[in-house]
Amino acid sequence: VKKKPLVVVTRKLPDSIETRMRELFDARINLDDTPMSAEQIAEAARTADILVPTVTDHISADVVNQPDCKLKLIANFGNGVDNIDVEAAHARGITVTNTPKVLTEDTADMTMALILAVPRRMIEGASVLTEGKPWAGWSPTWMLGHRIGGKRLGIVGMGRIGQAVARRARAFGLQIHYHNRRPVAPKIAEELGATYWESLDQMLARMDIISVNCPHTPATYHLLSARRLKLIRKDAYIVNTARGEVTDEDTLIKLIEGGEIGGAGLDVYEHEPAVNPKLVRLAKAGKVILMPHMGSATIEGRVEMGEKVIINIRTFLDAHKPPDRVLPSML
């Protein structure tokens, strides 16, 4: 009987995925639902043929460059691969895959929810009742937010998720603008009614709401730098469901505190899971809405992500190219 490949899974996954993995592979699943330590990850790379990490695991060059690293495939349970040194893995002949597409719509839903919730002060309003604060009843001038319809939405990164956000936002009457390395195909731009800005600076200066939807790569680290954040209008809002590292979080906080940016809806943080206490203060003051990285957190999505991981592993083991290979040139 052929020996089953050893697959180390760093976090607990949905039950149906775990069961299937145990049927197919010699799956060692970290059932303790906390991230594995750097030492445990390094050890897993020395013993496993295949590693299934998540956003909470850092697969550095040091991990893959260990002389006795045994890994042949890193099948990421996640779309973003900024937790993996893809170049170092590639140089060592290790294949890397991710789970694109299945979390596009869920992440776009969360993004749209924040685009609505921040200007309409939804969490601030709800907290009046849930925290038992006094409510004098309806008033013509109380708890007023800003209208969504007609405002300009600037999407930073018009990939699958950016486009899914644009589709939703259009239905809410927002004007769609975007910055991307390249313009999208004319057919898509037309369908989305989207205006391309080659200059991110110029777009930022003119938008009412900015949504960050690009991956975190060396090229997008602090893409919204201190200088660029200062271009944003005083009454504008920023929504980030991508990665905290894309914005200079300290500067963002200072600008919101100083009334230089209207507010923010954040699902991701620069030093996740640490959340800057200043952000918590701003949330209590109703200036920002903070979500604990829940963009793709649906039962359906997590099962589909697991199914993708399994397909990637099985195709790899069948000596074919897995469907969701990530190459350094794609980053």
Task: Provide the binding-site residues for ligand 8YV, judged by CB under 6 A.
Answer: 54-55, 77-80, 103, 295-296
Separation CA 27–CA 18 (nearest Å): 8
Q: Between 79 and 97, whose beta carbon lies closer to ligand 8YV? A: 79
Q: Which of 43, 87, 272, 307 is catalytic?
A: 272
- Burial of residue 181 (number of CB atoms within 10 Å: 0-12, 13-18, 19+): exposed
Sequence-distant (6+) residues with CB within 8 A of 70 are 45, 46, 47, 48, 49
Q: Which of 11, 177, 228, 293 is catalytic?
A: 293
- Measured from the CB atom, is 76 or 95 closer to ligand 8YV? 76
Which position's Cβ is nearest ligand 8YV? 78
Question: Which CB, 55 or 264, lies closer to ligand 8YV?
Answer: 55
Q: Smallest gap, in angstroms, from Cβ of residue 36 to ligand 8YV?
A: 13
* Burial class, 17, CB count within 10 angstroms (exposed 0-12 / middle 13-18 / buried 19+): buried
| Closest CB to ligand 8YV among residues 78, 262 | 78
Of residues 216, 228, 243, 302, which has the active-site annotation?
243
Distance CA 227, CA 313 (A): 43
Q: Between 10 and 95, whose beta carbon lies closer to ligand 8YV?
A: 10
- Rounded Cα distance between 194 and 170, Å, is 9
Determine the Cα–Cα distance for residues 128 and 131; give it in Å rounded to an integer.
6
Reading the block at residue 291, the tokens are: 């979500």
Maximal C-alpha separation, the chain: 75
Query: Whole-number minimum distance, CB 252 to ligand 8YV, in Å?
Result: 19
**Residue 59: DSSP 8-state:** B
87 annotated active-site: no
Please, is 318 exposed, middle or buried when counting C-beta atoms within 10 Å of its C-beta (0-12, 13-18, 19+)? Answer: exposed
Taking the complex as a whole, how short is the minimal distance between the CB of residue 100 and ligand 8YV, in angstroms?
A: 9
- Give me the least distance between CB of 172 and ligand 8YV, in Å please: 23
14: Cβ–Cβ under 8 A, 6 or more apart, which residues? 299, 302, 303, 306
Instruction: For residues 30 and 99, give the distance between their C-alpha atoms in angstroms, rounded to a whole number.
Output: 20
Nearer to ligand 8YV, 20 or 101 (CB): 101
Minimum distance between the CB of residue 11 and ligand 8YV, rounded to whole angstroms? Answer: 8
Annotated active-site residue 325? The verdict is: no
Nearer to ligand 8YV, 80 or 154 (CB): 80
Coil, helix or strand at residue 224 = strand
Q: Do residues 256 and 282 lie in contact, with contact meaning Cβ atoms separated by under 8 Å?
A: yes
Judge residue 221's burial from the number of C-beta atoms within 10 Å of its C-beta, 0-12 exposed, 13-18 middle, 19 or more buried: middle
Smallest distance, Å, CB 173 to ligand 8YV? 28
Question: Is 243 in the active site?
Answer: yes
Closest distance of CB 52 from ligand 8YV, Å: 10
Report, as residue numbers or ranges, the catalytic residues: 243, 272, 293
